[in-house]
Amino acid sequence: MNKVAAQRLVRETLQGSFNKEGFVSLIKNMLNRIEEAPFTYKGQYIFDDFRDSIKLVERIGKYKGPDEKLMDILVIHLQKETSLERARTKQRNFVAKYLKGSRGGALKDAALVAFVPPDGEDWRFSFIKMEYTFNEKGKVKEEFTPARRYSFLVGKNENSHTAQSRLLPLLLDDEGQPTLKDLGNAFSVEKTTKEFFEKYRDLFLRLEESLDAVLKKDTKVKTDFKAKDVHTVDFAKKLLGQIVFLYFLQKKGWFGVKRGSPWGSGSKHFLRELFDKKHGDYENFFNDILEPLFYEALRLERPADYYKHFDCRIPFLNGGLFDPLNDYDWIETEILLPDDLFSNDCHTKEGDVGDGILDVFDRYNFTVKEDEPLEKEVAVDPEMLGKVFENLLEIKNRKSKGTYYTPREIVHYMCQESLIEYLYGEFNPEIVAYETIGDAQMAMFGNEAKKKQLDLTIQHRQRSLIDKKDIETLIRYGESIVEHERRVVNEGRETDRYSFKLPERIRANALRIDEKLASVRVCDPAVGSGAFVVGMMNEIIRARGTLTPHVDGNQKRTPYDFKRHAIQNCLYGVDVDSGAIEIAKLRLWLSLVVDEEERESIQPLPNLDYKIVCGNSLLGVNKLFNYEPLKKLEALKPLYFNETSAVKKQKHKKQIDDLISQMTNGHKDFDFEVYFSEVFHEKQGFDVVLGNPPYVALQKNSGELGRLYKDAGFTTFARTGDVYQLFYERGCQLLMPSAGLLAYITSNSWLKAEYGKSTRRYFSDNHTPLRLIELGKDIFESAIVDSSILIARHGKHDETGKAVDMDRLPEKDFPPAEHHWGTFRPTGEKPWSTLSSIEQSIMDKMDAAGTPLKEWDVSINYGIKTGYNPAFIIDNSTKQALIDKDPKSADIIKPVLRGRDIQRYKAQWARLWLIDTHNGYDNVPAVNIDDYSAIKTHLDRFYPQLKKRQDKGKTPYNLRNCAYHEEFSKEKLFWIDLTEQGRFAHDESEMFCTNTAYAISGPSLKYLCAVLNSDLITWFMKNTALNSGMGTTRWVRFTVERLPIPNIPSTEQHPFINLVNSILKAKATNPKADTAEEEAKIDWLVYDLYGLTTEEIAAVEQNCMA
């Protein structure tokens, strides 16, 4: 099929009401060969628990691809229009049950499905793939086999631009048959998101430029912006955010509603209609249409929500999104942005017509339903706004702030695990916590403990109620079985076909669990664009929804009510970036909008100013606590949250701000215990603190951050450390004592780096790590950094931690399967590793048998730092020319190795030389350059660079001080920093090395050379040293210094020395000589040194081969 025909087929099939003939034609051209095997299910043949949603199932055919996977092609007719949006989980679960052969059919791997409502106007084209798990007998585990659905939103009111671009490669290939992986790529959400980000960024830059142009031309606008502290970059961000928000909302039919008509009956293309002047004429689209829409129609209450200017109903939304930025004067100023910024006839490089804001947004499908791991729409959803925010920050700016967007699968996992551990802690008796009286965060509400009293320790125990496995079933699988639960409850009994899937203890304690979910307090202290607070909200409402069949009561239990309650009572966030705060609020508002189904009156959005707050989480203020102001403050916040009157809002806000000022002695800087006082009053801290704090070295920008936080009271502060370490400590400080959960994803450097010692000790001494996942380096698109997830419980408990290293797993699926996890125990300041039980045994044996290298009688030193290698490192011909000009030059020209020259056992010298203009050492004076005329002439060629460099001595010609200079004239071992395995080279000459390498001098060097080059030491380093982020291990000095080497008598070293001599002799003759046999013998001698078993040796060798 040619490109034009393919585009026409997609457009005609997917950009109109459902047409079965067109759909079948599309499928046949996508797959090329299908087996026509039609049948129909309806009525009593539909599974009982799905009949209220599913009316009819038609199978078009079957398909078996080159990967041998089986797939059915289905058309599923829904019972009612609302099922398309409201019953997405039920639709996915129905297909999952069908594919598992519930009617006695064969097990299928996937399905291509058209989900069609009664009117057929808007429908979904979905690819649903099963994720089977098998037991030890090779049979499918039936209970909770998940199905993942990827969908295009299609139909009369949708654009097919995205579907065309994704399906085109399949349609153009007339011969090949796609695999399930190929189909997964065609339905890929990631491709859509990346494309949308780039378009959005370009629109933002053009919008900012247009605003700058307006300011240059119009002094009135410029004066008002300056007076109100409005910056064009912030204005552009907010304007695009407002327009995107309206694109989400117009999908619900809330705009352009005729007077007297219900919500939902309006146009789904309202913004385009406004531009096309269908609701009124204008001279300038932004000034005459958008500003009144934003700041009158959407912002102010009106009778029946009728807006005369457009002669239609527009909902009053409240919430602050449609307040003018910094209260700029939108009425008196005329911001005349060019109309063609919003729509034009320009041709894009992709062949589309129009590159304005509305043109670009019109080409995408918008869905207010945030994607979940099992349910993804190939469309723009609110979750994308987080990535858009990341993209809008310039690369340099983003990295300086250390912010990286967390993938949704990671967010989903961390939220679920935090909630599981929270509920487990609330109901489980085995958690024994020890708390020192007086350490709780109740100080601001009074502490009856007397000064100078003895510290007392109290023990907390609880009565057993619910096993963790039962809680995991509720949180991880509840949404998949809720319809089943509802069916059994409605029937009033279990039958042969239907029985409860939720564990009995969950059902029996449903009300108590629901109360715990409703009262959980969650905070993200680096909230960014809100991924974690939105993610936690979704987990809470899903769990509460699952419990609904088992919870008696008359209160409303709709997703909207759950969300609004969670936003008001459970969720808190802080970020230093005001732009991030606005995006986070926007996502919470959109989450409410998706479940707002009122046809008569749309609920105004809540005010989130004291829930999602701009501030620095790492700093606080001196507080003057008094119960009365606190009581008033906590009474005013709920009033402000729900207030819709602009006048009353201002009144409440001023009262709240005045009280905050009163309690902070006139300061308004953010402080957790003030802004979120109700949490500390009620629970002494948060139940869960989670997030992805920024990664910024405290030494960056000449130590600016280090100076800022040096006196902020952090016990883990280290000048060489990172901001995220301080967030770890702050997060723990914010937790409810002896119960709260911390869940962070950060760089994993603190686990093994020298600067992480204080953080490792802090957790080891004070808290209980529960889960540690080393994720590797491919989590963040824009960050070359290895990441890890830590989940820990406040206080010391009798709980055993679990850990896993994703890089060492045969498959990289996330989250890792349970059988991959090993036990984990914090090791104080020593590096933390994610080890299996057998690996921990090896580590223990090595620690017991060895003495840290730094405790040996050896000298361990860095290579020479010249500060400017092009001047001081010369090749052989340059060296000879200098000696020819002045024979004295030979006295200070020494052979030198670069890191790349250092190989295992023996270096391969590249005949490079160091001009050793040392700065003096011991009783040897500094080199006087005037004594070496030829070398001075050579260095004068580089004089400007020599003078600027920091690593210089008494004069620009001298090298920096080097107290260990004499060590290079002795027998030594060289080793390199970045390498996959040990590369220690023996040397007996006067060889130097550059600063990309290190040197060890002292006794027993050939014995050490053997042990340090062994597989066992490589294994040890892989598990305890930092990873470079590029697949190599960092063999830096402080990690090598702590290697545990058995310090055996010299007489017992002979077998090692003999083998090393044999290797050195072979490599002296031929650098590429095969010495594998000798090296293998050394490995076995080393294994014997540490007393490893056969099983332990196999584990080491398997890891070293990976």
In angstroms, the CA 49 to CA 89 distance is 13
Beta pairing, strands 1033-1034 & 978-979: antiparallel
In angstroms, the CA 859 to CA 857 distance is 7
At residue 394, the pLDDT reads 47
- What is the average pLDDT across 533-540? 95
Contact (Cβ atoms closer than 8 angstroms) between residue 29 and residue 9: yes
Binned at pLDDT 50, 70 and 90, residue 50 comes out as: confident
**Does position 76 have pLDDT exceeding 80, yes or no?**
yes
Domain boundaries, the chain: 3-187, 192-401, 837-858+1003-1106, 861-974
Read off the tokens for 979: 């390498």
Torsion of the alpha carbons at 653, 654, 656 and 662, rounded to the nearest 10 = 160
303 sits in the region (left: phi over 0; alpha: psi -120 to 50; else beta) called beta
Q: Which residues pair with 994 in a beta bridge?
A: 864
- 428-432, 600-604, 1008-1012 — which is least confidently predicted? 428-432
- What is the average pLDDT across 376-387? 70
Q: Is the pTM of this model over 0.85?
A: no
**Does position 602 have pLDDT exceeding 80, yes or no?**
no
| Segment 257-298, tens digit of pLDDT | 999 899 889 998 999 999 999 999 999 999 999 999 999 999
Contact (Cβ atoms closer than 8 angstroms) between residue 1040 and residue 975: yes
Helix/strand/coil for 630:
helix
- HEC sequence for 530-576: CHHHHHHHHHHHHHHHHHHHHCCCCCCCCHHHHHHHHHHHCEEEEEC
One DSSP character per residue, 847-860 reads: HHH-EEGGGSS-EE
> 309: part of which helix (H) or strand (E)?
none
Look at 339 and 43; give whichever has higher pLDDT: 339
Binned at pLDDT 50, 70 and 90, residue 386 comes out as: low
In angstroms, the CA 992 to CA 912 distance is 10
CA separation, residue 936 to residues 746, 792, 889, 915, 939 (Å)? 50, 61, 10, 11, 5
Count of H helices and E strands in the chain?
Answer: 40, 32
Binned at pLDDT 50, 70 and 90, residue 600 comes out as: low
Read off the tokens for 728: 């770890």
One DSSP character per residue, 699-742 reads: THHHHHHHHHHTTS--TT--TTSBHHHHHHHHHHHTBPTTT-EE
Mean per-residue pLDDT of the chain: 86
- What is the average pLDDT across 1040-1062? 95
| Segment 1070-1098, tens digit of pLDDT | 999 999 999 999 999 999 999 999 999 99
Binned at pLDDT 50, 70 and 90, residue 312 comes out as: very high
**Does position 135 have pLDDT exceeding 50, yes or no?**
no
Owner of token pair 């001009």: 915
> 949: part of which helix (H) or strand (E)?
none
Amino acid at 725: Q
Contact (Cβ atoms closer than 8 angstroms) between residue 431 and residue 799: yes
In angstroms, the CA 554 to CA 561 distance is 13
At residue 1106, the pLDDT reads 62
Q: What burial class does residue 417 get, using C-beta atoms within 10 Å of its C-beta: 0-12 exposed, 13-18 middle, 19+ buried?
A: buried
CA separation, residue 585 to residues 582, 595, 676, 692, 1013 (Å)? 5, 16, 17, 18, 55
At residue 397, the pLDDT reads 45
Say what angle helices 189-217 and 232-250 make with each other, to 10 degrees: 130
**Does position 90 have pLDDT exceeding 50, yes or no?**
yes
Look at 512 and 349; give whichever has higher pLDDT: 512
| Segment 870-926, tens digit of pLDDT | 999 999 999 999 999 999 999 999 999 999 999 999 999 999 999 999 999 988 999
Contact (Cβ atoms closer than 8 angstroms) between residue 338 and residue 320: no
Contact (Cβ atoms closer than 8 angstroms) between residue 945 and residue 866: no
Binned at pLDDT 50, 70 and 90, residue 538 comes out as: very high
- What is the average pLDDT across 689-710? 90
**Does position 104 have pLDDT exceeding 80, yes or no?**
no
In angstroms, the CA 222 to CA 212 distance is 9
Binned at pLDDT 50, 70 and 90, residue 369 comes out as: low
Owner of token pair 């209260």: 327
In angstroms, the CA 893 to CA 295 distance is 76
At residue 398, the pLDDT reads 42
CA 384 to chain centre: 13
Q: What is the largest CA-CA distance in the chain?
A: 104
At residue 440, the pLDDT reads 41
Q: State the Rg of the chain over Cα.
A: 34
Binned at pLDDT 50, 70 and 90, residue 375 comes out as: low
**Does position 445 have pLDDT exceeding 70, yes or no?**
no
| Segment 989-1038, tens digit of pLDDT | 999 999 989 999 999 999 999 999 999 999 999 888 877 656 678 898 98
The residues, ordered by sequence, that sit 6+ positions from 549 with a Cβ below 8 Å of its Cβ are 482, 485, 486, 488, 489
**Does position 367 have pLDDT exceeding 90, yes or no?**
no
The residues, ordered by sequence, that sit 6+ positions from 24 with a Cβ below 8 Å of its Cβ are 60
**Does position 35 have pLDDT exceeding 60, yes or no?**
yes
In angstroms, the CA 989 to CA 44 distance is 90
Look at 28 and 482; give whichever has higher pLDDT: 28
Task: Work out whether the CA dihedral 751, 752, 755, 761 comes out positive or negative.
Answer: positive
In angstroms, the CA 686 to CA 519 distance is 11
Task: Work out whether the CA dihedral 39, 44, 48, 51 comes out positive or negative.
Answer: positive
In angstroms, the CA 371 to CA 380 distance is 10
At residue 757, the pLDDT reads 92
In angstroms, the CA 274 to CA 362 distance is 13
Nearest to 965 by CA among 1008, 932, 919, 913: 919
Q: Which residues pair with 522 in a beta bridge?
A: 571, 688
At residue 102, the pLDDT reads 64
Owner of token pair 């299928």: 108
Binned at pLDDT 50, 70 and 90, residue 365 comes out as: confident
**Does position 449 have pLDDT exceeding 50, yes or no?**
no
Torsion of the alpha carbons at 926, 931, 932 and 938, rounded to the nearest 10 = 80
- HEC sequence for 439-459: CCCCHHHCCCCCCCCCCCEEE
Contact (Cβ atoms closer than 8 angstroms) between residue 869 and residue 994: yes
267 sits in the region (left: phi over 0; alpha: psi -120 to 50; else beta) called beta
In angstroms, the CA 686 to CA 677 distance is 11
- HEC sequence for 500-537: CCCCHHHHHCHHHHHHHHHHCCEEECCCCCCHHHHHHH
State percent of the chain over pLDDT 70.
88
Q: Which residues pair with 921 in a beta bridge?
A: 924
Contact (Cβ atoms closer than 8 angstroms) between residue 1005 and residue 972: yes
* DSSP code at position 278: T
Amino acid at 1068: A
Torsion of the alpha carbons at 873, 875, 878 and 883, rounded to the nearest 10 = 80
Binned at pLDDT 50, 70 and 90, residue 443 comes out as: very low
Binned at pLDDT 50, 70 and 90, residue 979 comes out as: confident
| Segment 479-505, tens digit of pLDDT | 878 777 887 887 777 777 777 889 999
Q: 619-628 burial string, b = 16+ CB within 10 Å, else e?
A: ebbebeeeee
- 303-307, 428-432, 685-689, 802-806 — which is least confidently predicted? 428-432
CA separation, residue 1021 to residues 839, 1027, 1037, 1099 (Å)? 13, 10, 12, 15
Nearest to 1090 by CA among 1016, 1008, 983, 1024: 1016
- What is the average pLDDT across 188-198? 76
State percent of the chain over pLDDT 90.
53
Binned at pLDDT 50, 70 and 90, residue 603 comes out as: confident
Binned at pLDDT 50, 70 and 90, residue 318 comes out as: confident
At residue 390, the pLDDT reads 60
